Amino acid sequence: MIKEINSSKVKEFLKENTNVEILDVRTPAEWKNTGRPDGKKVGTQTHFVTIERDAGGTVDLSFIDKVKEKIDVKKKLLIICRSGSRSALASHLLSKENYECINIIDGYEGNGVSPGWINENLPYYFDNEE
């Protein structure tokens, strides 16, 4: 079973847990238009690897290899997308590869019930601000 967390609990979770990194699975267009979560400002590192599907809905499994190249399997992963569904899929796939995954269920922009990363005033930046 995949663990879940609301973005409102992320800061507290990171204070209480070590060896955790953030994985943002949104698209480059989303990063450009709405910004990127700034893990450095909450004491961790953020990685950016898009999870993609083809026209038929099949996930491009090279996503798993890209994550493995960037992130040690010993790291716990807080996984985020726009609203929580792609991050749930990524959590499912990566948990099969022995990653400990925690899905940020309200995502970066909120899910209609919870406000999401940016609306919880968690740190973020735009590429031209790095």
Give yes or no for a contact between 80 and 108, defined as CB atoms under 8 angstroms apart: yes
Q: Which helix (H) or strand (E) holds 103?
A: strand 100-104
Measured in whole angstroms, the distance separating CA 57 from the mean position of its chain's CA atoms is 20
Give the tokens for residue 90: 């990524």
DSSP per-residue codes, 9-45: GHHHHHHH--SEEEEE-S-HHHHHHH-EE-GGGGTS-
**Domains of the chain and any CATH numbers:** 3-129 (3.40.250.10)
Q: pLDDT tens digit string along 29-78?
A: 999 999 999 999 999 999 999 999 888 989 999 999 999 999 999 999 99
* Stronger pLDDT, 113 or 117, i.e. the higher one: 117
Distance CA 120, CA 6 (A): 10
β-pairing verdict for 124-125 and 36-37: antiparallel
Q: pLDDT tens digit string along 72-98?
A: 999 999 999 999 999 999 999 999 999
Query: What is the pTM (predicted TM-score) of this model?
Result: 0.95
Using a pLDDT cut of 70, give the percent of the chain over it: 98
pLDDT bucket at 127, cuts 50 / 70 / 90 = confident
